[in-house]
């Protein structure tokens, strides 16, 4: 059975075990914070697979996590804002996919890891951009998230930056991120298929990793309590900076 799974996913036993551990940790972060699942996977698993092969895996993982968390997101999120972001993102995804399928693996790794560090550091610094509170800011943020999603499947980081500019409470930000990632994943599937990024191997890898990510999300949701809410985002962002920084250094040395 294990041999069949490894053949199906085109991975070695060691690669699959490492990926399973990575997605479980990413699931805990997602269940706890409402975002950063794909960012954690990209920041670490990029040393095993190139970003273009991780994108379809992240899509399936985000779907699993979103289904488990969508109920709370729909209830608490500002649906008007989320829908505006989704519209912008839908337009932006093809641009990001075109870029990631047009450049070398080494270049895409460098861009992805640098992007994660910059976005995480920006949010840690609590940078606020007042113009984002406008209609153009809303759709522009969605478009930027779509480009980043197509490039590295870390559009949730951009949306987190947008929500931060609104001074939203932690619970509301988490809900908006959950709902955006769910709706955004549904609209991006067509683009992934069009560019040939979503293929049988990518789907097999994503589905085979569904159980560990689901376990992680469940654990992460249990950790999200009012007592820990003030600390959840700084912890997750610091973790992302550390992981992406270490991976970036390693890619430049190897």
Over the stretch 150-189, which tens digit does the pLDDT of each residue have? 777 777 777 777 776 666 666 677 777 778 878 877 777 8
pLDDT tier at 72, thresholds 50, 70, 90 = low
> What is the Cα–Cα distance from 167 to 178, expressed in whole angstroms?
17
Share of the chain above pLDDT 90, in %: 18
pTM confidence score: 0.75
The pLDDT of residue 106 is above 60: yes
Looking at per-residue pLDDT, the higher value among 251 and 215 belongs to 215
Q: Collect all residues with Cβ–Cβ distance below 8 Å to 134 and sequence separation of at least 6.
A: none
Least confident of 15-19, 115-119, 153-157: 153-157
List the structure tokens of 241. Answer: 């900076």
Number of separate helices (H) and strands (E) present in the chain:
12, 0
Q: What residue spans define the domains of the chain? A: 2-253
Q: State the pLDDT at residue 16.
A: 95
CA dist 115 → 151, 167, 170, 177 (Å): 10, 23, 23, 19
Question: How do residues 27-36 score in pLDDT, each as one tens digit?
Answer: 998 888 777 7
CA 93, CA 114: separation in Å to the nearest integer?
19
Lowest mean pLDDT among 19-33, 57-71, 157-171: 157-171
């Amino acid at each position: 059975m294990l041999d069949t799974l490894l053949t199906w996913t085109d991975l070695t036993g060691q690669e699959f075990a490492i990926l399973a551990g990575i997605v479980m940790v990413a699931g805990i972060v997602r269940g706890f914070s409402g975002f950063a699942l794909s960012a954690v996977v990209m920041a670490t698993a990029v040393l095993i697979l190139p970003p273009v092969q991780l994108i379809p895996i992240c899509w399936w993982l985000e779907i699993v996590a979103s289904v488990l968390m969508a109920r709370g997101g729909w209830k608490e999120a500002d649906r008007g804002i989320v829908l505006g972001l989704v519209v912008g993102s839908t337009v932006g995804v093809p641009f990001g996919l075109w870029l990631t399928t047009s450049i070398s693996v080494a270049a895409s790794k460098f861009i992805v890891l640098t992007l994660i560090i910059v976005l995480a550091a920006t949010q840690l610094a609590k940078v606020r951009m007042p113009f984002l509170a406008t209609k153009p800011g809303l759709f522009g943020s969605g478009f930027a998230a779509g480009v980043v999603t197509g490039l590295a499947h870390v559009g949730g980081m951009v949306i987190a930056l947008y929500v931060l500019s609104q001074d939203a409470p932690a619970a509301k930000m988490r809900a908006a991120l959950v709902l955006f990632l769910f709706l955004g994943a549904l609209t991006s599937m067509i683009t992934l298929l069009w560019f040939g990024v979503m293929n049988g191997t990518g789907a097999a890898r994503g589905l085979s990793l569904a159980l560990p990510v689901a376990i992680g999300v469940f654990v992460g949701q249990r950790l999200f309590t009012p007592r820990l809410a003030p600390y959840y985002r700084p912890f997750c962002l610091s973790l992302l900076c550390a992981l992406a920084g270490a991976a970036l250094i390693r890619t430049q040395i190897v």
